[in-house]
Amino acid sequence: MQQQSGICQVFAHRGASREAMENTRAAFEHALLYAIDGIETDVQLSRDEVAVLWHDESLDKIGLAGQHIDDFDLAQLETLNFPQTGDKGIMTLKTFLNDYNQHCRLLIEVKNHDREPVIRHEIKMRRVINLIKEVSGSRTADRLLVSSFNLQSLVYAHQQGCDTPLVCNIDDHQTIADVQQTLNDCTFLYGFCLPIALLDQHLTDLLRAHYKRIIVYTCNTDDQINKALQLGVDILISDVPDKAIEMRNARPGGA
């Protein structure tokens, strides 16, 4: 069985999302004030197929209930009142990669919705892969990761010859049996990103036996963080990365 690859890394969930609006420059800059190892963010497409950072399916958080990112072209999105400091409107993935690629590792979650046609899922994944290549060239190794809850999007990326490590996100309603089936069907995966409540020693051992990296979300309480650290995960995603770093470093050999 493969052992843990090293000290658990702490990623800021959508930046320091408890200190500034998530997935904004302010949140990312706050996160970099801590000794984080990486930042996790979310990508969707504008109507004119520009990759932008936004998590939710709707724009309720900025007062546009029932409307979506892909109801607007990028130029329109840039005029909307996104509560963001020091930048105009929504951030594009290209800007994010250019500005933060040299600071830490980046985990880019490609968000898909059932209302979207499959072709939009494929375009979205191609945009992400191509931007990573454009910004980082051949130097990505495992410094940049791409994840999705949509397994078919990851399969599509693999079929397109994607050399960025691909991570399968597991939802909290899924089971160990679902993980096992995905392990059997998609051996190309770099790792799995799982809810901390689902992960236990049995599942940890299963993933290690298949040489997969283990990422967990979203670890905010002391119990959640301690569980992730005790199970020896590779990456811990947290809304409170400063607390997670402090708890990790307090453990023997943690710093």
Average pLDDT on 58-72 reads: 91
Q: What is the pLDDT of residues 173-230, one digit of tens each?
A: 999 999 999 999 999 999 999 999 999 999 999 999 999 999 999 999 999 999 999 9
Compute the mean pLDDT over every residue in the chain, rounded to the nearest whole number: 92
Q: Is 80 exceeded by the pLDDT of residue 85?
A: no
- pLDDT band at residue 142 using 50, 70 and 90 as cut-offs: confident
Q: Is 90 exceeded by the pLDDT of residue 99?
A: yes
Domains, the chain, in order of start with CATH, read 19-199 (3.20.20.190)
Q: What is the rounded distance in angstroms from the CA atom of residue 17 to the CA atom of residue 25?
A: 11
The model scores a pTM over 0.85: yes
Token pair, residue 167, equals 């991570």
Enclosing H/E stretch for 133: helix 118-136
Q: Give the lowest-confidence range in 18-22, 98-102, 136-140, 239-243.
A: 136-140
Contacts of 60 (CB under 8 A, 6+ apart): 66
Q: Which residues pair with 195 in a beta bridge?
A: 217
Q: How many CB atoms lie within 10 A of CB 124?
A: 24
Burial degree of 1 (CB within 10 A; 0-12, 13-18, 19+): exposed
Token pair, residue 13, equals 């969930």
- pLDDT band at residue 33 using 50, 70 and 90 as cut-offs: very high
3-state SS assignment for residue 81: coil
Question: Locate tokens 């901390």: which residue?
Answer: 196
Q: Are 143 and 47 in contact (CB under 8 A)?
A: no
Of the candidates 212, 205, 245, 235, the residue with the CA atom closest to the CA atom of residue 109:
235
Enclosing H/E stretch for 203: helix 201-209
Q: Is 50 exceeded by the pLDDT of residue 3?
A: no
Tell me phi and psi for residue 227, to 5 degrees: -60, -45
Q: What is the rounded distance in angstroms from the CA atom of residue 17 to the CA atom of residue 5?
A: 28
What integer pLDDT is reported at residue 4 of this predicted model? 45
Strands 38-45 and 235-238, sheet pairing: unpaired
Contacts of 8 (CB under 8 A, 6+ apart): 228, 229, 232, 233, 234, 235, 236, 248, 254
What integer pLDDT is reported at residue 138 of this predicted model? 58
Q: What is the pLDDT of residues 156-167, one digit of tens each?
A: 999 999 999 999
What integer pLDDT is reported at residue 62 of this predicted model? 87
Average pLDDT on 43-60 reads: 95
Cα of 145 vs its chain's centroid, Å: 8
What integer pLDDT is reported at residue 49 of this predicted model? 97
Q: Is 60 exceeded by the pLDDT of residue 2?
A: no
Cα of 97 vs its chain's centroid, Å: 13
Token pair, residue 142, equals 């495992």
Q: Give the lowest-confidence range in 84-93, 151-160, 239-248.
A: 84-93
